[in-house]
Amino acid sequence: MNEERYILFDQYLEGELTIDEKANFEKQIADDPQFAAEFAAFRTAQQQLENKFGIAAEREAFKENLMKISDKHFHKDKSKVIALKPWNYAVAASVVILIGLFFFNYSKNPVYEDFSQHEQAYFTERGNANTTLKQAETAFNAHNYKAAIPLFEKILKESKTPEIQLFYGISLLEENQYTKAKAVFEALRAGTSVYKDKATWNLALCKLKQKDYAGCKKILLTIPQDYEDNVEVQLLLKDLE
């Protein structure tokens, strides 16, 4: 795999591609298993390295070391080098360096944290939100799921909408309340709302977080191809192979 492909992967993950470029990229993911596998490896490595080097000082020190490795192995003209994130330098360097010099050993199986980038809640934009709903939205978006759970439960007693149920289920999942989360997702999955496929995806993540890889794969295979985040589904399926 070449450096240009790493840049393409990075641009896709950062949302920098045009609509047509994104469509072509996702088509290649679906049609080319090798391309999909390389992207999955890049994405996993990026996320793990980003999580590991989240502290600024450590990240900058790591970047300096990786720049030295990049200069040594790529022999690029510095005026032509495209700036990548430090964790992306790690991915690129790891491909060039012998396997014995890898910086990190990745687990064979995928991990929940690599696929749990939940969308943010925006309930209040509809103009009919109350104080509790606003508090739940704020808590959820701040990843304060423990505080969000009782707020969602209060709201659901008055208005049991699929949207609120979905975010309630995600909060339960994040707090490892698997039985309750599963019940919520199963109910949505059996319904006909627009959140049906998202509930199925999160039900698969529930299995993944519990390291039930066979159960996770079984659920993923029931998600239709036209699901809006089908790329994520395909990447997780590739990681589960």
What is the average pLDDT value for the chain, to the nearest integer? 79
What is the maximum span of the chain, computed from C-alpha positions, in angstroms?
64
Per-residue model confidence as pLDDT tens digits over 217-241? 999 999 998 998 888 899 899 889 8
Instruction: Note the pLDDT of residue 98.
Output: 32
The residue with greater pLDDT, 80 or 160, is: 160
Asked if 76 and 70 touch (Cβ cutoff 8 Å), the reply is yes
End-to-end CA gap in the chain: 21
Per-residue model confidence as pLDDT tens digits over 6-32? 778 888 888 888 998 889 988 888 888
Whether the predicted model's global pTM rises above the 0.75 cut: no
Choosing among 1.10.150.120, 1.25.40.10, 3.40.50.2300, 2.40.50.100, the CATH entry for 113-240 is 1.25.40.10
Per-residue model confidence as pLDDT tens digits over 101-142? 333 444 468 889 989 889 899 886 554 558 899 999 999 999
The residue with greater pLDDT, 79 or 171, is: 171
Asked if 123 and 154 touch (Cβ cutoff 8 Å), the reply is no
Domain ranges of the chain: 3-105, 113-240
